[in-house]
């Protein structure tokens, strides 16, 4: 049996997991991300942690097929990152650097694309070779899997579905600098922003008026309890979600759409709400797509990262 590592590199912690080649996670741990000195310690720290693990467990390096890593920024096909603002990195060939530090094959990808690959392998989209994943968190990230492979695109920005424009009349700015992006409506912060807007435009009472600070979960809870303005907020959010996912489905024609991130904790009501508006906007050819929730949570990145290096070393 062969083994390997999946690494999910984030701005504050690095999650490292050890897998067998069938994709069973055998162990996982975290180390802090040291962003001092332009992030120069990050890859050496990861290499040291992996080496220590192998030494502690008396694992022969011959049994290790490699290390996959997901990073928070665009990554091209050669494993170059051009800029990872969270890490302090400018241009860097992480694949080559980490491989030289470890003496093992390394395969790198964008964290959102890698998480989508993980969900398509062992999570909500297991068994599906064509999948769209939307991660509805603080922002909206995404990943697209086509024929079992993540769509990286030429700059590594493929699958960046959170910045599709859905409202050209928006007046507030998105974090990316544009106006009217999906992220401004469908992220956890977007849901709260929409709720505040609905409350401002109406004179009706709502339990939401008495909650400070208002969270995304409050909006879903209030809607479940029948609060009219919370329900109206979610109708608007679902409308934007249905619209943009129908658009992406026109391009990808997936078997499944996986919804993940903090907003997806709303569960079935979210799936039902999005589905209803999706039907309104979708092209009939992709109307049979299934909507499911992500299943791997914070481990999706590690699973997908390991799958990257598994596919690179054992092409199907």
Q: Decide if 88 contacts 39 (C-beta within 8 A).
A: yes
Residue 5 Cβ, how far from Zn ion at the closest point, in Å? 33
Tell me the residue length of the chain: 316
Q: Which stretch binds Zn ion (CB under 5 A): 177-185, 225-233, 241-249, 263-271?
A: 177-185
Q: Which stretch binds Zn ion (CB under 5 A): 93-101, 130-138, 181-189, 258-266?
A: 181-189
Any idea which residue has 């603002």 for tokens?
A: 85
The interface with Zn ion within residues 151-170 (CB under 5 A) comprises: 163
Q: Which residues contact 48 (CB under 8 A, 6 or more apart)?
A: none
Q: What is the rounded CA–CA span in Å between residue 261 and residue 293?
A: 9
Which of 50, 112 has the CB closer to Zn ion?
Answer: 112
193: number of Cβ within 10 Å: 18
Residue 243 Cβ, how far from Zn ion at the closest point, in Å? 16
Q: What is the rounded CA–CA span in Å between residue 179 and residue 167?
A: 8
Tell me if residue 168 falls in helix, strand or coil.
coil
Q: What is the rounded CA–CA span in Å between residue 233 and residue 196?
A: 9
Residue 251 sits in the site that holds Zn ion (CB under 5 A): no
Peptide bond into 213 cis (omega under 30): yes
Residue 252 Cβ, how far from Zn ion at the closest point, in Å? 20
Q: Which residues contact 125 (CB under 8 A, 6 or more apart)?
A: 119, 131, 133, 145, 255, 256, 258, 292
Q: What is the rounded CA–CA span in Å between residue 89 and residue 72?
A: 10
Residue 174 sits in the site that holds Zn ion (CB under 5 A): yes
Residue 181 Cβ, how far from Zn ion at the closest point, in Å? 3
Residue 176 Cβ, how far from Zn ion at the closest point, in Å? 3
Query: What residues are paired with 290 via a beta bridge?
Result: 256
Residue 254 Cβ, how far from Zn ion at the closest point, in Å? 23
Which of 182, 258 has the CB closer to Zn ion?
Answer: 182
* Binding residue (CB under 5 A) for Zn ion from 26, 59, 85, 176: 176
Residue 261 Cβ, how far from Zn ion at the closest point, in Å? 16
Which of 26, 85 has the CB closer to Zn ion?
Answer: 85
Residue 135 Cβ, how far from Zn ion at the closest point, in Å? 15
Which of 178, 236 has the CB closer to Zn ion?
Answer: 178
Q: Which residues contact 112 (CB under 8 A, 6 or more apart)?
A: 133, 135, 141, 142, 143, 159, 160
Q: Which stretch binds Zn ion (CB under 5 A): 45-53, 71-79, 175-183, 250-258?
A: 175-183
Which of 120, 184 has the CB closer to Zn ion?
Answer: 184
Which of 15, 163 has the CB closer to Zn ion?
Answer: 163
Total residues binding Zn ion (CB under 5 A): 5
Q: Which residues contact 286 (CB under 8 A, 6 or more apart)?
A: 246, 249, 250, 253, 254
* Binding residue (CB under 5 A) for Zn ion from 14, 67, 181, 229: 181
Which of 23, 153 has the CB closer to Zn ion?
Answer: 153
Q: Phi and psi for 259 in degrees, rounded to 5?
A: -105, 125
Which of 176, 201 has the CB closer to Zn ion?
Answer: 176
Binding site for Zn ion (CB under 5 A): 163, 174, 176, 178, 181
């Amino acid at each position: 049996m062969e083994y390997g590592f999946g690494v999910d590199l984030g701005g504050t912690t690095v999650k490292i997991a050890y897998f067998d080649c069938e994709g069973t996670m055998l162990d996982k741990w975290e180390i802090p991300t040291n962003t001092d000195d332009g992030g120069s310690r990050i890859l050496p720290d990861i290499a040291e942690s992996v080496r220590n693990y192998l030494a502690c467990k008396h694992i022969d390096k011959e049994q290790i097929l490699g290390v996959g890593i997901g990073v928070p920024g665009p990554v091209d096909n050669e494993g170059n990152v051009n800029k990872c603002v969270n890490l302090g990195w400018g241009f860097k060939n992480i694949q080559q650097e980490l491989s030289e530090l470890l003496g093992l094959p390394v395969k790198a990808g964008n964290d959102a694309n890698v998480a989508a690959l993980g969900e398509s392998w062992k999570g909500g989209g297991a068994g599906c070779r064509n999948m769209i994943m939307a991660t509805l968190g603080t922002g909206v990230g995404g990943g697209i899997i086509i024929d079992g492979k993540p769509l990286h695109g030429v700059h590594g920005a493929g699958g960046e579905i959170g910045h599709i424009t859905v409202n050209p009349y928006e007046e507030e700015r998105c974090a990316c600098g544009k106006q009217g992006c999906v992220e401004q409506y469908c992220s956890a912060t977007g849901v709260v922003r929409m709720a505040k807007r609905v409350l401002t435009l109406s004179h009706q009472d709502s339990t939401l008026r008495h909650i400070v600070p208002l969270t995304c979960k409050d909006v879903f809870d209030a809607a479940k309890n029948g609060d009219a303005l919370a329900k109206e907020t979610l109708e608007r959010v679902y409308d934007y979600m249905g619209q943009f996912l129908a658009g992406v489905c026109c391009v990808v024609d997936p078997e499944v759409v996986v919804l993940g991130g903090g907003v997806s904790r709303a569960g079935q009501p979210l799936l039902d709400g999005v589905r209803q508006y999706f039907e309104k906007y979708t092209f009939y050819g992709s109307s049979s797509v299934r909507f499911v929730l992500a299943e791997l949570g914070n481990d999706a990145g590690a699973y997908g990262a390991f799958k990257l290096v598994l596919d690179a070393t054992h092409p199907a």
